[in-house]
Structure 1
Amino acid sequence: MGSEFELTILMPCLNEAETIVQCIEKAKSFLIRENVHGEILISDNGSTDGSQALAEKHGASVIHVPVRGYGAALIAGIHAAKGKYIIMGDADDSYDFINLSPFLEKLRSGYELVMGNRFKGGIQPGAMPFLNKYLGNPVLSFIGRLFFNVPIGDFHCGLRGFNRDSMRRIQLQAPGMEFASEMVIKSALKQLKTTEVPTTLAPDGRSRLPHLRKWRDGWRHLRLMLMFSPRWLFLYPGIFLAALGLLLISILSVTPLKIGPYALDIHSLLFAGAFLVIGLQSIFFYIVGRIIGSASMGIPLRKKMDRLLEKFTLEKGIILGFILALLGVGGSLLSVYLWMKAQFGSLVPGEMMRIAIPSVTLMIVGSQIIFASFFLNLVMQSYSDPQKR
């Protein structure tokens, strides 16, 4: 079924009676000036100040969304929109609905997501809180670019355009403010054609405080980024800890290590064992997380991961784990033998711990690999094609 309109201008709304009329009139002015066949859609999230009646009076369509939240309102709006393209923006009069041509031109040229960049377009004095402008937004946008390799300078700009059908396909779900990050992240993971255009930000026209809560919503954005990037959450920290632990164990099991005035000995050896165990566990979480994420989101695994999983068998994991655990048991028996030779008396800690700590670490790592292999095999079978089972 074809779209009734070329463009839907979508605005989430929760008690925006002070500014919604100005936003609608600016959006109407744009549609008329550019001769765009479009609609203005207000996704109301339970307003009690008459915003809905004002919107309808000035020619906008209104849908009522009972599930509270910025993301919930926009997701409902995306599904209700009749336009081939959607440009969304807050109804607080902070975004420039008169100058939407750069967004529409990019959408017409084939881009599926067009982000506004307020830092390039200009942020008026008082339009963005100091912490958001110089800390929260730049830091979270940097993390987003680093994690997902997407060339977006303003992850949280509320003025953005997108292809309606493309956005429906990626199945956005976040109900809160983190929806802004979810849209960019899933677009990157699904390889939607993405770009950005400069836009401006003005102080909003409301007399009340904004719905945004800096620290709570900032954490929700960061949490979402971590959940969608198991490489940065699990793999890279795991590789670092495992490599550091293995290096220190290899050295400290033989001799103390002096670095300038500092000396690392058996106490550091104990921590090295912990680093190795935690690191390997984190790497295992990454592998399982990627399999589950791939199955639930339909994102293809990387070629290296595919090759790794093709070579993996439960039996290989059991054999490797058993060998390592057996080495650990052998070292533990050697410790007991040396204790017997000392007639179960006092031992020299510096000598015994260089045997005992690596031995215990090997037993833990070996057991960890055996159990992880069983669990990984179970996960792979659970998420494999039923036709192949």
Structure 2
Amino acid sequence: MTELDVTILMPCLNEAETLEVCIRKAQKGLEQCGVAGEVLIADNGSTDGSLEIAAKCGARVVHVADKGYGAALSGGIKDAQGTYVIMGDADDSYDFQSIAPFVEQLRAGYDLVMGNRFRGGIAEGAMPPLHRYLGNPVLSWLGRLFFGIKVRDFHCGLRGFNRERILALNLRTTGMEFASEMVVRASLENYSITEVPTTLSPDGRSRPPHLRTWRDGWRHLSFLLMYSPKWLFLYPGFFILGLGAILSLVLFPGQFDIAGIGFDIHTFIVGCFSVVMATQAIEFAVFARRFAASHKLMPQSQKQSFITEVFTLERTLLFAGCLIVLGFIGLLSCFLQWATSGFGPVEYTTMLRVLALSMTIMTVGVQTVFMAFFSAITEIPTK
């Protein structure tokens, strides 16, 4: 059992300019809250005297060899002695003296307490306009849309959490997207999450920040997509499938005119290809979700358990086999029609429609066979 209530954790990579003031504020914050705590510096290879500053100020240091923001924080969380951890950057942009709301909510039983800079106040020049008006709002909105997380400031670096609960998530990312992974995984595991207002000030460093707008923004966005197979694969797949199916059904009998514009065989082929693309996207969603559940990246939902029980490997292969046979029958009918003409010229549009539809059905069937086996591989137990 831990002896301390709170660990204030700061990742550090050459933060000599601002480290001391951050440590002093953190110590003051612990004192004002009246809690037993420590200040822990997760050093990621500093060479500018940061370690000496931390020792002089009475902070504890843990050395993390693996490089990256997330790697440093992971190492620090594992080494922390507090029941609760409050993490924040060591650039003097967050006010560690004002940690009382975080401590209060953690003691109330919340697993994760996020800071909200938009509610607490962002000082002039503290956040680039691109981050303030586009990056953070858009990524936070996507987080709420994809995962139903009621958090308005998805990427606030000042946050508190129950150490044991976060360790149980086995977070894996090593870069800036670690902040997103923590919130997403906590939400998927139905952890209790809340927000408290916090402030953001211009950092006190003379050098540029480690954050790179477009690179790290893309890493956050791609992470959100990869952890949401529904929005990455399933919903786009259903949309394309609906569009392709409508085009195929409407145009299979023959040309269809809208406002004097004739849609014929070429549009029909577009519809058939759309069905193939859509089927692949939907099957990717199934595979990604099963893979994530089997490797404990996401919890297995009741809906997923039901689908897995109903669509066993054998039943899926039987369904795929029926599609292959049906497509082959259509393909065979085209061949016989061609044979009856002495393998000479045939009526172009009619045969091509049957041929395209038959090949589409066969392709979907074969694709489903591969997906069924590929998906089943993820269920093989591993040590």
CA distance in 1, matches of 2:298, 2:50: 40
Please give the secondary structure, in 1, of the residue aligned with 2:7. strand
Q: Which stretch shifts more, 125-134 or 295-304?
A: 295-304
Contact 1:321 1:367 in 2 (8 A): yes
One-letter code aligned to 2:65: P
CA distance in 2, matches of 1:41, 1:347: 79
Runs of at least 5 residues in structure 2 that lack an aligned partner in the other structure: none
One-letter code aligned to 2:173: A
CA distance in 2, matches of 1:309, 1:14: 46
> 1:106, CA displacement in angstroms?
0.3
CA distance in 1, matches of 2:187, 2:117: 20
Which residues of 2 match residues 78-93 of structure 1 at below 5 A?
78-93=77-92
| 1:293 matched to 2:292 | yes
Distance change in 2, residues 1:370/1:66 (3 Å): closer
Instruction: Tell me the equivalent position of 2:209.
Output: 210
Which residues of 2 match residues 1-389 of structure 1 at below 5 A?
2-297=1-296, 299-380=298-379, 382-383=380-381
Please give the secondary structure, in 2, of the residue aligned with 1:195. strand
> 1:261, CA displacement in angstroms?
4.8
> 1:341, CA displacement in angstroms?
4.1
Distance change in 2, residues 1:314/1:112 (3 Å): closer
> 1:319, CA displacement in angstroms?
2.7
Indicate the RMSD between aligned Cα atoms, in angstroms: 1.8
Deviation string 1:259-290 (CA, Å, 9 cap, x unpaired) is 33543221121121111112112222222221
CA distance in 2, matches of 1:122, 1:369: 52
One-letter code aligned to 2:81: K
Please give the secondary structure, in 1, of the residue aligned with 2:201. coil
Distance change in 2, residues 1:378/1:90 (3 Å): closer
> 1:298, CA displacement in angstroms?
6.5
Contact 2:327 2:358 in 1 (8 A): yes
Contact 1:84 1:165 in 2 (8 A): yes
Please give the secondary structure, in 1, of the residue aligned with 2:17. coil
Question: Could you state the TM-score of these two structures normalised by the residue count of structure 2?
Answer: 0.95
CA distance in 2, matches of 1:204, 1:210: 9
Distance change in 2, residues 1:169/1:378 (3 Å): closer
Please give the secondary structure, in 1, of the residue aligned with 2:140. helix
CA distance in 2, matches of 1:186, 1:164: 14
Distance change in 2, residues 1:383/1:123 (3 Å): same
> 1:15, CA displacement in angstroms?
0.9
Contact 1:6 1:85 in 2 (8 A): yes
Contact 2:189 2:299 in 1 (8 A): no
CA distance in 1, matches of 2:378, 2:294: 11
Deviation string 1:114-169 (CA, Å, 9 cap, x unpaired) is 00011111111111111111111111111111111111111110000001111111
> 1:224, CA displacement in angstroms?
1.2
Distance change in 2, residues 1:216/1:261 (3 Å): farther
Q: Which stretch shifts more, 327-336 or 229-238?
A: 327-336
Distance change in 2, residues 1:102/1:262 (3 Å): farther
One-letter code aligned to 2:286: I
> 1:223, CA displacement in angstroms?
1.4
> 1:212, CA displacement in angstroms?
0.2
CA distance in 2, matches of 1:370, 1:173: 32
> 1:34, CA displacement in angstroms?
2.4
Contact 1:292 1:383 in 2 (8 A): no
Distance change in 2, residues 1:297/1:336 (3 Å): same
Question: Could you state the TM-score of these two structures normalised by the residue count of structure 1?
Answer: 0.94
CA distance in 2, matches of 1:124, 1:16: 21
Please give the secondary structure, in 1, of the residue aligned with 2:90. coil
Distance change in 2, residues 1:379/1:23 (3 Å): closer
Contact 2:185 2:298 in 1 (8 A): no
Q: Which stretch shifts more, 6-15 or 371-380?
A: 371-380
Identical positions, percent = 50
Distance change in 2, residues 1:262/1:129 (3 Å): farther
Contact 1:8 1:82 in 2 (8 A): yes
Contact 1:46 1:66 in 2 (8 A): yes
Runs of at least 5 residues in structure 1 that lack an aligned partner in the other structure: none
Contact 2:294 2:378 in 1 (8 A): no
One-letter code aligned to 1:333: L
CA distance in 1, matches of 2:308, 2:33: 54
Deviation string 1:270-320 (CA, Å, 9 cap, x unpaired) is 121111112112222222221221121174422222122112233322332
One-letter code aligned to 1:169: A
Please give the secondary structure, in 1, of the residue aligned with 2:295. helix
One-letter code aligned to 1:241: I
Q: Which stretch shifts more, 347-356 or 265-274?
A: 347-356
Q: How many residues align?
A: 383
> 1:255, CA displacement in angstroms?
2.5
One-letter code aligned to 1:270: I
Distance change in 2, residues 1:85/1:377 (3 Å): closer
